[in-house]
Amino acid sequence: MNKQYLAILAIVILAAGCSNTPPGPEQSGAAVEDRSARTIKNADVAKVTPDTLDGTGMAALKDPKSILSKRSIYFDYDSFVIKEEFKPLVEAHAKFLVANPKMKMLIQGNADDRGSREYNIALGQKRAEALRKMYSLLGVKDEQVEAVSLGEEKPKNPGHDEAAWAENRRDDMLYTGEF
């Protein structure tokens, strides 16, 4: 009977200890990042439709002087966090997609060749999904953007040093007619 009493007492103590929930960031005084959606203005974004992809509609996307011609963002080692330096590029592509709702984008997540194939496929998918989610927060319709992983299968640089690996840790953005 004494062992049963001790067992019940131990369960009650454990249950009481588990009922306390740690304070959230609001209660602890920690800073909270603002992740609310922002509205994008359609200022100076060329309006094209898939019907006009005869070269004139894609001109804005292929003009080397346009920010829209840049189609890759790069990641740190073992990370899928979009760096601050690429946010203006992402916002420009988001504005373009919002202004052109018939356009679609394919995001290809890539990884360097370190790690197993399975790990790199998963990391490439996390990178592509992070960018897709950012587009969604910027007002792009979910059906306009698809995220896939290529893992380590499509290296931009075949080398095996830090410079090559840095080029291969990326998301590539392809538009309608390019995939």
Predicted local distance difference test score (pLDDT) of residue 85: 97
Q: Report the C-alpha gap between 105 and 175 in whole angstroms.
A: 4
Q: Where are the domains of the chain?
A: 2-175
More confident: 40 or 116: 116
Residue type, 158: P
More confident residue, 59 or 140: 140
Among the listed residues 123, 109, 35, 97, the one whose alpha carbon sits nearest the alpha carbon of residue 73: 109
Confidence band of 10 (pLDDT split at 50, 70, 90): low
- Given a contact cutoff of 8 angstroms between Cβ atoms, the answer to whether 95 and 163 are in contact is no
The answer to whether the predicted template modeling score (pTM) of the entire model surpasses 0.85 is no
Q: Which amino acid is at 55?
A: G
Q: What is the reported pLDDT for 36? A: 53
- In the structure, what pLDDT confidence band is assigned to residue 16 with cuts at 50, 70 and 90? low
In this structure, whether the domain defined by 2-175 belongs to CATH 3.30.1330.60 is answered with yes
The enclosing H or E element of 131 equals: helix 117-137
Q: How confident is the model at residue 50 (pLDDT cuts 50, 70, 90)?
A: very low
Q: Are 53 and 103 in contact (CB under 8 A)?
A: no
Residue 12 clears pLDDT 70, i.e. is over it: no
Question: Across residues 72-93, what is the average pLDDT?
Answer: 97
Q: What is the per-residue pLDDT across 119-149, written as a single tens digit (0 to 9) for each? A: 999 999 999 999 999 999 999 999 999 999 9
